[in-house]
Chain A
Amino acid sequence: DAGVIQSPRHEVTEMGQEVTLRCKPISGHDYLFWYRQTMMRGLELLIYFNNNVPIDDSGMPEDRFSAKMPNASFSTLKIQPSEPRDSAVYFCASSLGQGATGELFFGEGSRLTVL
């Protein structure tokens, strides 16, 4: 079975550019999470969806960040305009039925570098 699939794996862009990260959760999973990992702050929850509906986006840093889940098999995290401090690894994770109280299945992450 395919796991959580993220793309791109690596992205290098210049400050001010728009960045779109993509995620395909495990088929049948009803929760989807976006996390950001940095050395300074560790793993931070940005936003999560339940049945394609955003439930909590309080972790989204600012208005430059937006996330969508148009259907059960696809989600995007967009940063516009990007800034050097957005450089991080962005993880998508999905789970079934138990939200974050159950096992989260993570993708391999998208490493973003903003110059």
Chain B
Amino acid sequence: AQKVTQAQTEISVVEKEDVTLDCVYETRDTTYYLFWYKQPPSGELVFLIRRNSFDEQNEISGRYSWNFQKSTSSFNFTITASQVVDSAVYFCALSEPAGGGADGLTFGKGTHLIIQP
């Protein structure tokens, strides 16, 4: 069973629009960590945020915000006033320390975000 689902394979919006990337996870652990990584066209993966399962506070960092809802097992990522430089593939990931194997870190398949000028 897929543990991290990013149902949106590709999203295309016009610059300055707001866009939300969805992430739904599955775990039986009470302690786990959620991440978002960005992969720009240059290829490297860049860490954006880490959340632990006991902290449901939403977070805002500039134009980026994250909504963590345990009730729906979701950890969605919103970019406000999108810019062309936001174009990238975004990965959601789940780490389950009790899950074995590199703390059970599992990546979703990614969402390719295209921001058109």
Contacts and interface: CB of A to CB of B under 8 A. Distances in A.
B88 to A, nearest CB: 13
Contacts of B109: 42
A56 B42 CA distance: 29
Interface in A44-61: 45, 48, 55-56, 58-59
User: DSSP class of A's interface residues: helix, strand, loop or mixed?
Assistant: strand
A106 B40 CA distance: 13
B66 interface: no
Interface residues of B, number: 23
Contacts of B95: 100-101
A: interface residue count bin: 20 to 34
Interface in B40-96: 42-47, 50, 91, 95
A43 B102 contact: no
A66 B50 CA distance: 31
List 6 tightest A-B contacts by C-beta distance, closest first: A100-B105, A106-B45, A100-B103, A43-B107, A100-B102, A108-B44
Contacts, number: 55
A59 B102 CA distance: 10
Interface of A: 33, 42-43, 45, 48, 55-56, 58-59, 89, 91, 93, 99-109, 111
B20 to A, nearest CB: 21
Given A42-B108, A42-B110, A108-B42, A48 B47 contact: no
Given A42-B108, A89-B43, A109-B44, A58 B101 contact: yes
Contacts of B97: 99, 101
A104 B20 CA distance: 24
B117 interface: no
A48 B102 contact: yes
Interface string B29-43: 000010101000011
